[in-house]
Amino acid sequence: MKATARYVACCDLGGTKALVGLVDETGRMLARERYLLPGQREPGQLVAELASRLTQLVRQAGLTWSQVIGLGCSIAAVLDAERRLIQFAPNLIGSAQNVPFKDLLQQALGRPVWLEMDAQVTALGEAWQGAGAGAGELVYVVVGTGIGAGLLIQGQIYRGWSGTAGEFGHTTLDPRGPRCNCGNTGCLEALASGPAIAQQAQLALDQGRTSLIRELQPPLTAEMVMQAARLGDPLAGEIIQQTAEYLGTALANLLNLLNPEVIVLGGGVIQGGADLLLEPIRQTAMRRCGSWIDWRKTRIVAATLGEDAGLLGAARLVWMTSPN
Amino acid sequence: MKATARYVACCDLGGTKALVGLVDETGRMLARERYLLPGQREPGQLVAELASRLTQLVRQAGLTWSQVIGLGCSIAAVLDAERRLIQFAPNLIGSAQNVPFKDLLQQALGRPVWLEMDAQVTALGEAWQGAGAGAGELVYVVVGTGIGAGLLIQGQIYRGWSGTAGEFGHTTLDPRGPRCNCGNTGCLEALASGPAIAQQAQLALDQGRTSLIRELQPPLTAEMVMQAARLGDPLAGEIIQQTAEYLGTALANLLNLLNPEVIVLGGGVIQGGADLLLEPIRQTAMRRCGSWIDWRKTRIVAATLGEDAGLLGAARLVWMTSPN
């Protein structure tokens, strides 16, 4: 007689909120919950709350932990190469370093844990159930408050040598460009992230440009600039066009170097502005790729899983290494 | 009784010359020959000459083809994803396309053939016997007439989805930069290749700058600019410093995205100017990497195998998949 159906638990720990879920082998989400993570906390406290939320979810689904293979966990943090320790997660746990997060979770749950950085997990989710379904060579690019990437090679997460691959937001796109939070100048993140869009609009207003945006209540956001662009505001239109140009050029660099099958774009700026950004990004990327080779077949698409990409990717982490 | 020792044949077909060799499992080169490839020829003629040179080499080494596992071949060409067809190799075979080069070679030799693009083979050679010995995550960057890269991931060549990965020379580094042969503007190759170095010097002379270079017999070359820089010529020094800045910035982008263990630099510009370029390249790359993660451990080194890197890499192609 075949063993009873088995499930995996998954969680997605962001800067300000957490999602927990239960997912089967086909990607079906049996249960799902969202809770807020306001402010920083002790790592032990984070683990205890997560374990309690997960245990409640398992119980509500009519299951016991013995029917759950393990937990896949996506986290907004820099991890060590072996994915056991948190090196850097200021929004979640403040200045604590070398936190043995995977071990703490395993002890609290009594089940094995898979821990990965968020962009990489999202890439896995979109390659499993989303915009890149079935692709082996996939790059997921998140454009939001920051810009980052998760790389899949032959369907597996590519972490790099010491585990830090994917810092796409800090590639220099214009050596003479504006200063970035990282200390350098002209990083993609300083040119095309949500805050960069708002900052360019503010700068233009300060210089006396007329625009619909001037009538809005500060502080300016990228969302306001996109709204004004939709209403035909010339300044907002220029800024959005320039943003697409930066993103498209950076994607052309990716296409030239890595030749992926799919580039999936996600994050707040894309979710809020795909109608304005996606086509100009594609056009710039294709124009900037060498024309003598057929890179043009690579698809550049918007993410389709939204908030669930992290949960599904985290579940996939477990299923990939644990055949049922 | 153990079977007799076995060998692999290897060749490196460049734009103007060919190298052929015999290499054992430890990387020892038993025999080696170099011959010129002046002008374009029919694919069949290229294959026939190569087969004849290789057969002669095997015979001179006191071997027969039955003692040779197969041929590893490095080629200055764009290949299809399966590495059977030449898509583009203007210097070798003119405008011929979809040439079944691997099959032609196999038929001519009666032995299996492994065919790969040159930058990728060189990466393999340097990771086996050269500057990156033992590294799993390695990027080889060639800076010469053009700029390109070969990527190794877990010790294996990374070809990308459709086989064109590594077009590092056509990453945009300055959207407002000079025009590149590929049709775009501000590609790394248009800023920091050998011809770009010479062109910058010529431009400065045309604008009336004083420089030692003015006394030299035209046409200008990168080698002349480097020679003048060594003699303390201010214009030449500026151009070399700027070249290092471009290359270092592009390498920082690589480090941020791919986090390799080693970056190996080769090609004519590096071979001729490592004393001038290597340290400023390293400094720029490290300055432009995000400081909050320890990318600084990645080594940036000059290639050490010189002309043999292609032969050794081609031999390694065979040994990797054919355990003795």
Residue A191 has pLDDT above 50, yes or no: yes
pLDDT interval class at B291 (50, 70, 90): low
Q: Do B78 and A292 touch (CB under 8 A)?
A: yes
How far is residue B99's CA from residue B88's CA, in Å, rounded to a whole number?
9
Give me the residue from A153, A165, A183 closest to B259, CB to CB: A165
Asked whether the beta carbons of A12 and A29 are under 8 A apart, the reply is no
Chain B residues whose CB is inside 8 A of the A151 CB are: 257
How far is residue B322's CA from residue B136's CA, in Å, rounded to a whole number?
19
Asked whether the beta carbons of B197 and B242 are under 8 A apart, the reply is no
Residue A22 has pLDDT above 80, yes or no: yes
Tell me the whole-structure pTM to 2 decimals.
0.94
Residue A217, C-beta contacts closer than 8 angstroms, at least 6 positions apart: none
Same domain, B72 and B158: no
Q: Is there a domain that residue B50 lies in?
A: yes
Q: Do B174 and A175 touch (CB under 8 A)?
A: yes
Question: Interhelix angle for A43-60 vs A101-109, to 10°?
Answer: 40
Share above pLDDT 70 across residues of chain A, in percent, rounded to a whole number: 96
Q: What is the mean pLDDT of chain A?
A: 93
Average pLDDT value for residue range B254-280: 97
pLDDT interval class at B16 (50, 70, 90): confident
pLDDT for the residue B120:
97
Chain B residues whose CB is inside 8 A of the A183 CB are: 291
| pLDDT tens, residue by residue, A136-145 | 999 999 999 9
Q: Do A160 and B259 touch (CB under 8 A)?
A: yes
Chain A residues whose CB is inside 8 A of the B159 CB are: 259
How far is residue A140's CA from residue A113's CA, in Å, rounded to a whole number?
23
Q: How many CB atoms lie within 10 A of CB A208?
A: 7
Same domain, B298 and B161: yes
Closest residue in A to B79 (Cα–Cα):
A293
Closest residue in B to A153 (Cα–Cα):
B160
- Give yes or no for a cis peptide into A38 (omega within 30° of 0): no
Q: Is there a domain that residue B11 lies in?
A: yes
Q: What is the mean pLDDT of chain B?
A: 93
Q: Do A256 and B170 touch (CB under 8 A)?
A: yes
Average pLDDT value for residue range A136-163: 96
Q: Do B161 and A298 touch (CB under 8 A)?
A: yes
Taken in order B85, B87, B91, B94, is the CA torsion positive or negative?
positive
Closest residue in B to A182 (Cα–Cα):
B290
Q: Do A291 and B183 touch (CB under 8 A)?
A: yes
Residue B174, C-beta contacts closer than 8 angstroms, at least 6 positions apart: A174, A175, B186, B191
Residue B260 has pLDDT above 50, yes or no: yes
Residue-by-residue DSSP string for A108-177: HHSS-EEEEEHHHHHHHHHHHHSTTTT-SSEEEEEESSSEEEEEEETTEE---SSS-TT-GGGSBS-TTS
Q: In Å, how far are A27, A79, A103, A237 from A267, measured between CA atoms? A: 22, 21, 30, 20
Residue B172 has pLDDT above 70, yes or no: yes
pLDDT for the residue B290:
66
Share above pLDDT 90 across residues of chain B, in percent, rounded to a whole number: 82
Question: B234: which 2 tokens?
Answer: 């201010």
Among the residue ranges A29-33, A84-88, A146-150, the one predicted with the least confidence is: A84-88
Q: Is there a domain that residue A201 lies in?
A: yes
pLDDT for the residue B268:
95
Average pLDDT value for residue range A124-132: 97
Instruction: Compare A206 and A181 and report the one with higher pLDDT.
Output: A206
pLDDT interval class at A2 (50, 70, 90): very low
pLDDT for the residue B323:
55
Residue A1 has pLDDT above 80, yes or no: no
Q: Do B253 and A171 touch (CB under 8 A)?
A: yes
Residue B59, C-beta contacts closer than 8 angstroms, at least 6 positions apart: none
Same domain, A206 and A250: yes
How far is residue A219's CA from residue A224's CA, in Å, rounded to a whole number?
10
Q: Do A161 and B259 touch (CB under 8 A)?
A: yes
Residue B299 has pLDDT above 60, yes or no: yes
Closest residue in A to B290 (Cα–Cα):
A182
A25: closest CA of chain B, how far (Å)? 27
Closest residue in B to A286 (Cα–Cα):
B184
pLDDT for the residue B4:
59
A14: closest CA of chain B, how far (Å)? 20
Which 8-state DSSP code applies to residue A2? P
Chain A residues whose CB is inside 8 A of the B257 CB are: 149, 151, 165-168, 171, 254, 257
pLDDT for the residue A4:
59
pLDDT interval class at B2 (50, 70, 90): very low
Same domain, B142 and B184: yes
Amino acid at B272: G
A223: closest CA of chain B, how far (Å)? 26
Residue-by-residue DSSP string for B264-321: EEESHHHHHHHHHHHHHHHHHHHHHS-TTS-GGGSEEEE-SSTTHHHHHHHHHHHHHH
Residue A294 has pLDDT above 80, yes or no: no
Q: Do A172 and B253 touch (CB under 8 A)?
A: yes
Question: A167: which 2 tokens?
Answer: 């810092």
A259: closest CA of chain B, how far (Å)? 5
Q: Do B290 and A182 touch (CB under 8 A)?
A: yes
Question: B283: which 2 tokens?
Answer: 């400094």
Chain A residues whose CB is inside 8 A of the B142 CB are: none
Asked whether the beta carbons of B140 and B126 are under 8 A apart, the reply is yes
Q: Is there a domain that residue B124 lies in?
A: no
Total structural domains in chain A?
A: 2
pLDDT interval class at A218 (50, 70, 90): confident
Q: Give the closest residue to A299 by CA, choosing from A251, A262, A273.
A: A262
Instruction: Compare A278 and B92 and report the one with higher pLDDT.
Output: A278
Q: Is there a domain that residue A125 lies in?
A: no
Same domain, A159 and A270: yes
How far is residue A298's CA from residue A262's CA, in Å, rounded to a whole number?
5
B175: closest CA of chain A, how far (Å)? 7
pLDDT for the residue B252:
95
A150: closest CA of chain B, how far (Å)? 9
Same domain, A166 and A295: yes
Q: Is there a domain that residue A323 lies in?
A: no
How far is residue A248's CA from residue A240's CA, in Å, rounded to a whole number?
12
Q: Do B163 and A259 touch (CB under 8 A)?
A: yes
Instruction: Compare A243 and A292 and report the one with higher pLDDT.
Output: A243
**Residues facing residue B151 across a β-bridge:** B139
Chain A residues whose CB is inside 8 A of the B288 CB are: 172, 184
Question: Interhelix angle for A234-258 vs B234-258, to 10°?
Answer: 80
Same domain, B40 and B151: no
Chain B residues whose CB is inside 8 A of the A248 CB are: none
Average pLDDT value for residue range A84-102: 89
| pLDDT tens, residue by residue, B108-157 | 999 999 999 999 999 999 999 999 999 999 999 999 999 999 999 999 99
Same domain, B39 and B182: no
- Give yes or no for a cis peptide into A219 (omega within 30° of 0): yes
pLDDT for the residue A253:
95
Most B CBs within 10 Å, among A98, A168, A253, to test the B interface: A253
Same domain, A195 and A170: yes
pLDDT interval class at B305 (50, 70, 90): very high
Asked whether the beta carbons of A102 and A116 are under 8 A apart, the reply is no
Most A CBs within 10 Å, among B157, B288, B295, B296, to test the A interface: B288
What does chain A come to in residues?
A: 324
Number of H helices, E strands in chain B: 10, 12
Same domain, B135 and B42: no
How far is residue A250's CA from residue A297's CA, in Å, rounded to a whole number?
17
pLDDT for the residue B182:
85
Q: Give the closest residue to A103 by CA, choosing from A113, A94, A95.
A: A113
How far is residue B84's CA from residue A152's CA, in Å, rounded to a whole number?
25
Domain containing residue A261: 131-302
Q: Is there a domain that residue A202 lies in?
A: yes
Residue A146's CATH number = 3.30.420.40
Asked whether the beta carbons of B10 and B20 are under 8 A apart, the reply is yes
Q: What is the largest CA-CA distance in chain A?
A: 76
Same domain, B181 and B96: no
Exposed/middle/buried for A271, CB within 10 Å: 0-12, 13-18, 19+?
Answer: middle
Asked whether the beta carbons of B131 and A225 are under 8 A apart, the reply is no
Same domain, A236 and A102: no
For residue B186, report the phi and psi dihedrals to the nearest 5 degrees: 75, 20
pLDDT interval class at A223 (50, 70, 90): very high
Q: Is there a domain that residue B274 lies in?
A: yes
For residue B239, report the phi and psi dihedrals to the nearest 5 degrees: -65, -40
Write down the H helix ranges in B3-117: 43-60, 90-93, 101-109
| pLDDT tens, residue by residue, B198-227 | 999 999 999 999 999 999 988 999 999 999
Q: Do A153 and B153 touch (CB under 8 A)?
A: yes
How far is residue B37's CA from residue B14's CA, in Å, rounded to a whole number?
8
Q: Do B291 and A182 touch (CB under 8 A)?
A: yes
pLDDT for the residue B292:
57
